[in-house]
Amino acid sequence: MKTRAAVIYGVNEEWQIKDVELDGPKAGEVLVKSHAAGLCHSDEHIVTGDLGSADPENSIFPCIGGHEGSGVVMEVGDGVTDFEVGDHVAVSFVPACGKCRWCASGMQNLCDQGAGTMGRGMITDGRSAHTGPDGEEIYCMAKLGTFAEHMLVGEDSLVKVDKDLPLVPVALVSCGVATGYGSAVNRAEVKAGDTVVVVGCGGIGSNALQGARVAGAKNIVAVDLAEFKREKAVEFGATHTAASMEEAMELVGGLTEGVMADKVILAPGVVTGDLIAPAQFLTRKGGTIVVTGLAPMMQMDVQLNLFEFAMMNKEIKGTIFGSDSPRRAVPRLLSMYQAGQLKLDELVTETYTLDEINQGYQDMRDDKNIRGVIVFD
């Protein structure tokens, strides 16, 4: 069949809307009609070249973007028993096979299938199932490609959700909400009474703020250069705001009588090595820094005062998918939304058509959006 998709052909190019020929679902595959796709910063990392193999033999270009999304099942391939036509689904940029060592240990966010998620071909049999108008093979971001009217994905990359849930919040939960919320609750293990600093208050950081709020943190300090995001941060749970980490240093010192923050969560659009030392000094003795945002793949240098780090018994943790299992986190977060504990509608600053995708990403670069969302017909 044919579908329309936003495809990127190389670093620093614009998204192009193309008619793409799509295989029907083979064994273990599901065809999904897209409903909504979030404009997450991680797709911008493909545009800038920070994400994806530098080796031309393994380059992900040309690529249908998008890894945050929701839709309705249209057709299933042989052997698919967990989904049927008409099911509502969230995608998961981390597939969960349920069988590997990590899945079997309750760590689906580390599923072995995730290792190849930025590579070429279908997750099921490795074939290329998408062809562009000039006969070119096209690959998919995170084996998903949510910036398309239809998605052909492996069943392990989907999570079924209740049909009475609106599909825009379902899309948001599939990356930004789960990642941000889990950074605070699961990885930083925020406790009641904690002082928490969240650096970067976009689609991920806003949900780290919500996680800290739900976990009962006393002081929640939102750090963002953009005034609009600092204002929104208060809506999501921030008790204080600062325009820079330097400004936060003085603020947190005052709030804690010099003890500093129990937890610091780094969720800017791009994490760079020079953010680690200021995060270290924002963190109290024995405190925790969680690195949530994506850094350029080849980034190796980090500024860290190793003496202070060891002597003050601090820790730095990485996290993916909020350190939770997609099949556990997605329904759980949506049920919290239904109960009024999580704000998801408020995350959507602007909606776009597929054809407006470049405007959507420009608005993200201009700090106008917490989350821009493509909504399909």
Binding site for Zn ion (CB under 5 A): 40, 42, 97, 100, 103, 111, 175
CB of 193 to Zn ion, least distance (A): 31
Using CA atoms, how far residue 197 sits from 230, 240, 246, 266, in Å, is 13, 9, 12, 8
Q: Which C-beta is closer to Zn ion: that of 84 or that of 112?
A: 112
70: its two tokens: 């929701």
Write the CB contacts of 339 (distance below 8 Å, at least 6 apart in sequence): none
DSSP state of 40: -
CB of 239 to Zn ion, least distance (A): 26
**AA identity, residue 265:** I
CB of 15 to Zn ion, least distance (A): 16
Q: Which C-beta is closer to Zn ion: that of 100 or that of 277?
A: 100
CB of 265 to Zn ion, least distance (A): 16
Rounded Cα–Cα distance for residues 167 and 161 (Å): 9
285: its two tokens: 């003795």
How buried is 66 (Cβ within 10 angstroms: 0-12 exposed, 13-18 middle, 19+ buried)? buried
CB of 39 to Zn ion, least distance (A): 9
Q: Which C-beta is closer to Zn ion: that of 111 or that of 373?
A: 111
Q: Which C-beta is closer to Zn ion: that of 64 or that of 175?
A: 175
On whether the CB atoms of residues 68 and 88 are closer than 8 A, the answer is no
Rounded Cα–Cα distance for residues 286 and 43 (Å): 35
Q: Which C-beta is closer to Zn ion: that of 40 or that of 173?
A: 40
CB of 126 to Zn ion, least distance (A): 17
